[in-house]
Structure 1
Amino acid sequence: MSIVKSGSAAYKPLGKQGKGSISTETGALSNQPYGFNTRFEDGKGTNPEELIGAAHASCFTMALSFALSGAGYDDGELNTTAKISLDKTDDGYEISQSALSLEASVEGITEDEFAKIAQEAKDNCPVSQLLDTKITLEYTLK
Protein backbone atom coordinates (compact mmCIF):
# COMPACT_ATOMS: atom_id res chain seq x y z
CA MET A 1 0.00 0.00 0.00
CA SER A 2 1.36 3.39 -0.98
CA ILE A 3 0.96 6.61 0.92
CA VAL A 4 0.39 9.28 -1.72
CA LYS A 5 0.86 12.99 -1.05
CA SER A 6 0.68 15.72 -3.66
CA GLY A 7 1.85 19.16 -4.53
CA SER A 8 0.84 21.27 -7.50
CA ALA A 9 2.24 24.15 -9.51
CA ALA A 10 0.83 26.60 -12.05
CA TYR A 11 2.82 29.01 -14.25
CA LYS A 12 1.82 31.68 -16.80
CA PRO A 13 2.73 33.24 -19.15
CA LEU A 14 5.74 31.21 -20.26
CA GLY A 15 9.43 32.05 -19.78
CA LYS A 16 11.12 34.63 -17.55
CA GLN A 17 8.04 36.88 -17.58
CA GLY A 18 5.90 34.14 -16.10
CA LYS A 19 4.70 33.92 -12.54
CA GLY A 20 3.65 30.79 -10.79
CA SER A 21 2.17 29.42 -7.62
CA ILE A 22 2.84 26.26 -5.63
CA SER A 23 0.37 24.51 -3.34
CA THR A 24 0.25 21.36 -1.24
CA GLU A 25 -2.77 19.18 -0.66
CA THR A 26 -2.62 19.81 3.10
CA GLY A 27 -2.59 23.57 2.63
CA ALA A 28 0.86 23.98 4.22
CA LEU A 29 1.58 25.95 1.05
CA SER A 30 -1.33 27.63 -0.65
CA ASN A 31 -0.66 29.51 -3.86
CA GLN A 32 2.87 30.37 -2.71
CA PRO A 33 4.42 32.53 -5.45
CA TYR A 34 7.41 31.41 -7.48
CA GLY A 35 9.05 32.38 -10.73
CA PHE A 36 12.32 33.36 -12.35
CA ASN A 37 12.91 36.13 -9.81
CA THR A 38 12.35 33.85 -6.77
CA ARG A 39 14.63 31.14 -8.18
CA PHE A 40 17.47 33.07 -9.77
CA GLU A 41 17.24 36.50 -8.18
CA ASP A 42 16.12 37.74 -4.77
CA GLY A 43 12.36 37.89 -5.33
CA LYS A 44 9.82 37.14 -2.62
CA GLY A 45 8.34 33.68 -2.77
CA THR A 46 9.72 30.18 -2.96
CA ASN A 47 11.59 27.96 -5.39
CA PRO A 48 12.02 24.24 -6.02
CA GLU A 49 15.43 24.10 -4.34
CA GLU A 50 14.27 25.44 -0.98
CA LEU A 51 11.28 23.09 -1.07
CA ILE A 52 13.60 20.14 -1.76
CA GLY A 53 15.81 21.38 1.08
CA ALA A 54 12.88 21.49 3.49
CA ALA A 55 11.76 18.03 2.37
CA HIS A 56 15.25 16.56 2.74
CA ALA A 57 15.94 18.19 6.12
CA SER A 58 12.60 17.05 7.55
CA CYS A 59 12.84 13.50 6.18
CA PHE A 60 16.42 12.99 7.40
CA THR A 61 15.66 14.50 10.82
CA MET A 62 12.62 12.27 11.31
CA ALA A 63 14.55 9.17 10.15
CA LEU A 64 17.38 9.99 12.57
CA SER A 65 14.93 10.63 15.40
CA PHE A 66 13.26 7.25 14.85
CA ALA A 67 16.64 5.47 14.57
CA LEU A 68 17.92 7.06 17.78
CA SER A 69 14.72 6.16 19.61
CA GLY A 70 14.96 2.61 18.28
CA ALA A 71 18.50 2.41 19.69
CA GLY A 72 17.18 3.38 23.12
CA TYR A 73 17.78 7.15 23.09
CA ASP A 74 14.67 9.14 23.89
CA ASP A 75 16.04 12.41 25.28
CA GLY A 76 17.44 14.80 22.70
CA GLU A 77 16.96 17.49 20.11
CA LEU A 78 17.83 17.58 16.40
CA ASN A 79 18.03 20.68 14.17
CA THR A 80 18.87 20.18 10.48
CA THR A 81 19.39 22.48 7.51
CA ALA A 82 19.69 21.14 3.96
CA LYS A 83 21.43 23.43 1.46
CA ILE A 84 20.55 22.49 -2.11
CA SER A 85 23.07 23.49 -4.80
CA LEU A 86 21.72 24.46 -8.22
CA ASP A 87 24.54 24.73 -10.77
CA LYS A 88 24.54 26.06 -14.33
CA THR A 89 25.77 23.52 -16.87
CA ASP A 90 26.25 23.55 -20.62
CA ASP A 91 22.80 21.96 -20.93
CA GLY A 92 20.94 24.19 -18.44
CA TYR A 93 20.89 23.61 -14.69
CA GLU A 94 21.33 20.66 -12.36
CA ILE A 95 20.94 20.06 -8.67
CA SER A 96 24.43 18.89 -7.75
CA GLN A 97 24.29 18.48 -3.99
CA SER A 98 22.28 18.43 -0.82
CA ALA A 99 24.44 19.43 2.14
CA LEU A 100 22.86 18.43 5.44
CA SER A 101 24.01 20.36 8.49
CA LEU A 102 22.84 18.98 11.82
CA GLU A 103 23.08 20.18 15.40
CA ALA A 104 22.19 17.40 17.80
CA SER A 105 21.92 16.86 21.50
CA VAL A 106 21.35 13.22 22.51
CA GLU A 107 21.62 12.27 26.17
CA GLY A 108 24.11 9.45 26.82
CA ILE A 109 25.23 8.66 23.25
CA THR A 110 28.87 8.27 22.23
CA GLU A 111 30.31 10.10 19.23
CA ASP A 112 30.99 6.83 17.38
CA GLU A 113 27.47 5.47 17.88
CA PHE A 114 25.91 8.78 16.88
CA ALA A 115 28.04 8.96 13.72
CA LYS A 116 26.96 5.44 12.69
CA ILE A 117 23.25 6.06 13.31
CA ALA A 118 23.34 9.49 11.60
CA GLN A 119 25.09 8.07 8.51
CA GLU A 120 22.53 5.28 8.23
CA ALA A 121 19.68 7.80 8.53
CA LYS A 122 21.26 9.97 5.82
CA ASP A 123 21.65 7.03 3.48
CA ASN A 124 18.24 5.50 4.12
CA CYS A 125 15.73 8.31 4.51
CA PRO A 126 13.30 8.18 1.57
CA VAL A 127 14.20 11.65 0.27
CA SER A 128 17.94 10.82 0.30
CA GLN A 129 17.12 7.72 -1.72
CA LEU A 130 15.04 9.76 -4.17
CA LEU A 131 17.72 12.38 -4.83
CA ASP A 132 20.25 11.29 -7.44
CA THR A 133 22.95 13.68 -6.27
CA LYS A 134 25.81 14.04 -3.82
CA ILE A 135 24.59 14.18 -0.23
CA THR A 136 26.91 15.32 2.54
CA LEU A 137 26.37 15.38 6.30
CA GLU A 138 28.14 17.53 8.84
CA TYR A 139 27.03 17.51 12.45
CA THR A 140 27.73 18.94 15.85
CA LEU A 141 26.89 16.67 18.77
CA LYS A 142 26.52 18.59 22.00
Structure 2
Amino acid sequence: MSISDLYSSGKHKQEIGHFASVVKIAKIDGIISEGEQKSLDKAAKRLNISEEEYKEILKNPENYPVNPPIDYDDRIERLYSLTKMIFADGVVDKHEVAILRKIAVALNFPTDNAEKVCDEAVHLILNGNELDDFTVAIRKVNAV
Protein backbone atom coordinates (compact mmCIF):
# COMPACT_ATOMS: atom_id res chain seq x y z
CA MET A 1 0.00 0.00 0.00
CA SER A 2 1.42 3.35 -1.00
CA ILE A 3 1.55 6.39 1.25
CA SER A 4 -1.13 8.07 -0.89
CA ASP A 5 -3.41 5.06 -0.34
CA LEU A 6 -2.90 5.34 3.41
CA TYR A 7 -3.66 9.06 3.32
CA SER A 8 -6.68 8.48 1.13
CA SER A 9 -8.16 5.79 3.37
CA GLY A 10 -7.43 7.85 6.50
CA LYS A 11 -9.07 10.88 4.95
CA HIS A 12 -12.08 8.81 3.95
CA LYS A 13 -12.41 7.51 7.52
CA GLN A 14 -12.51 11.13 8.68
CA GLU A 15 -15.18 11.88 6.10
CA ILE A 16 -17.24 8.87 7.19
CA GLY A 17 -16.91 9.90 10.83
CA HIS A 18 -17.98 13.45 10.00
CA PHE A 19 -20.95 12.23 7.98
CA ALA A 20 -21.99 9.99 10.88
CA SER A 21 -21.88 13.04 13.18
CA VAL A 22 -24.09 14.97 10.77
CA VAL A 23 -26.52 12.03 10.71
CA LYS A 24 -26.58 11.91 14.53
CA ILE A 25 -27.70 15.53 14.63
CA ALA A 26 -30.29 14.98 11.90
CA LYS A 27 -31.75 11.94 13.69
CA ILE A 28 -31.77 13.34 17.23
CA ASP A 29 -35.52 14.05 17.16
CA GLY A 30 -36.34 10.66 15.66
CA ILE A 31 -37.19 11.89 12.17
CA ILE A 32 -35.25 13.31 9.27
CA SER A 33 -37.02 16.33 7.81
CA GLU A 34 -36.95 17.25 4.13
CA GLY A 35 -34.40 19.98 4.83
CA GLU A 36 -32.21 17.60 6.81
CA GLN A 37 -32.47 15.00 4.03
CA LYS A 38 -31.31 17.55 1.45
CA SER A 39 -28.41 18.53 3.70
CA LEU A 40 -27.46 14.88 4.24
CA ASP A 41 -27.52 14.20 0.50
CA LYS A 42 -25.35 17.25 -0.17
CA ALA A 43 -22.92 16.30 2.62
CA ALA A 44 -22.66 12.71 1.37
CA LYS A 45 -21.78 13.91 -2.10
CA ARG A 46 -19.23 16.45 -0.82
CA LEU A 47 -17.63 13.83 1.46
CA ASN A 48 -17.54 11.08 -1.20
CA ILE A 49 -19.81 8.77 0.77
CA SER A 50 -20.98 5.85 -1.37
CA GLU A 51 -24.64 4.85 -1.44
CA GLU A 52 -23.83 1.68 0.52
CA GLU A 53 -21.91 3.66 3.17
CA TYR A 54 -24.75 6.20 3.28
CA LYS A 55 -27.32 3.50 4.06
CA GLU A 56 -25.14 1.86 6.72
CA ILE A 57 -24.31 5.13 8.43
CA LEU A 58 -27.96 6.19 8.35
CA LYS A 59 -28.92 2.96 10.15
CA ASN A 60 -26.28 3.21 12.89
CA PRO A 61 -24.31 6.46 12.99
CA GLU A 62 -23.07 5.56 16.49
CA ASN A 63 -20.89 2.84 14.96
CA TYR A 64 -18.58 5.43 13.42
CA PRO A 65 -16.04 7.42 15.44
CA VAL A 66 -15.50 11.14 14.82
CA ASN A 67 -11.83 10.89 13.65
CA PRO A 68 -11.08 14.62 13.85
CA PRO A 69 -8.82 16.27 11.30
CA ILE A 70 -5.44 17.42 12.56
CA ASP A 71 -5.77 20.88 10.99
CA TYR A 72 -7.57 23.35 13.27
CA ASP A 73 -9.33 25.13 10.40
CA ASP A 74 -10.62 21.77 9.14
CA ARG A 75 -12.06 21.08 12.60
CA ILE A 76 -13.75 24.49 12.58
CA GLU A 77 -15.16 23.69 9.14
CA ARG A 78 -16.59 20.44 10.56
CA LEU A 79 -18.17 22.41 13.41
CA TYR A 80 -19.61 24.79 10.83
CA SER A 81 -21.30 22.04 8.81
CA LEU A 82 -22.60 20.34 11.96
CA THR A 83 -24.06 23.60 13.21
CA LYS A 84 -25.70 24.22 9.84
CA MET A 85 -27.39 20.80 10.15
CA ILE A 86 -29.02 21.96 13.39
CA PHE A 87 -30.82 24.63 11.36
CA ALA A 88 -31.72 22.36 8.41
CA ASP A 89 -35.21 21.60 9.73
CA GLY A 90 -35.84 25.18 10.80
CA VAL A 91 -35.91 24.29 14.51
CA VAL A 92 -33.00 24.47 16.94
CA ASP A 93 -33.54 21.73 19.51
CA LYS A 94 -31.69 21.63 22.84
CA HIS A 95 -30.86 17.96 22.22
CA GLU A 96 -29.19 18.88 18.93
CA VAL A 97 -27.08 21.50 20.70
CA ALA A 98 -26.18 18.97 23.42
CA ILE A 99 -24.92 16.45 20.86
CA LEU A 100 -23.10 19.26 19.03
CA ARG A 101 -21.19 19.96 22.26
CA LYS A 102 -20.21 16.29 22.59
CA ILE A 103 -19.04 16.20 19.00
CA ALA A 104 -17.12 19.46 19.49
CA VAL A 105 -15.16 17.79 22.30
CA ALA A 106 -14.53 14.80 19.99
CA LEU A 107 -13.24 17.32 17.42
CA ASN A 108 -10.66 18.32 20.04
CA PHE A 109 -12.20 21.58 21.15
CA PRO A 110 -11.36 21.95 24.87
CA THR A 111 -13.92 20.36 27.17
CA ASP A 112 -14.06 23.44 29.38
CA ASN A 113 -14.77 25.68 26.37
CA ALA A 114 -17.03 23.45 24.22
CA GLU A 115 -20.25 25.01 25.48
CA LYS A 116 -19.04 28.53 24.71
CA VAL A 117 -17.73 27.48 21.28
CA CYS A 118 -21.00 25.74 20.38
CA ASP A 119 -23.17 28.59 21.64
CA GLU A 120 -21.15 30.98 19.48
CA ALA A 121 -21.39 28.58 16.51
CA VAL A 122 -25.19 28.49 16.81
CA HIS A 123 -25.32 32.28 17.11
CA LEU A 124 -23.09 32.72 14.06
CA ILE A 125 -25.18 30.40 11.85
CA LEU A 126 -28.40 31.97 13.13
CA ASN A 127 -27.06 35.32 11.93
CA GLY A 128 -26.11 33.96 8.50
CA ASN A 129 -22.33 34.02 8.85
CA GLU A 130 -20.39 32.17 6.18
CA LEU A 131 -17.38 29.92 6.83
CA ASP A 132 -14.72 32.66 6.73
CA ASP A 133 -16.41 34.84 9.35
CA PHE A 134 -17.39 31.74 11.33
CA THR A 135 -13.75 30.63 11.45
CA VAL A 136 -12.50 34.02 12.66
CA ALA A 137 -15.17 34.19 15.38
CA ILE A 138 -14.61 30.62 16.61
CA ARG A 139 -10.85 31.25 16.77
CA LYS A 140 -11.52 34.27 18.99
CA VAL A 141 -13.92 32.38 21.27
CA ASN A 142 -11.52 29.47 21.52
CA ALA A 143 -8.48 31.77 21.83
CA VAL A 144 -6.36 29.94 19.27
TM beyond 0.5: no
Q: TM-score range by the shorter chain?
A: 0.3 to 0.5
Q: Which has the higher contact order (CA 8 A, sep 6+)?
A: 2
Query: When you count helix as a share of all residues, which structure comes out higher?
Result: 2
Taking structure 2 as the reference length, the TM-score comes to: 0.38
Query: When you count strand as a share of all residues, which structure comes out higher?
Result: 1
**Greater CA radius of gyration, 1 or 2?**
1
Taking structure 1 as the reference length, the TM-score comes to: 0.38
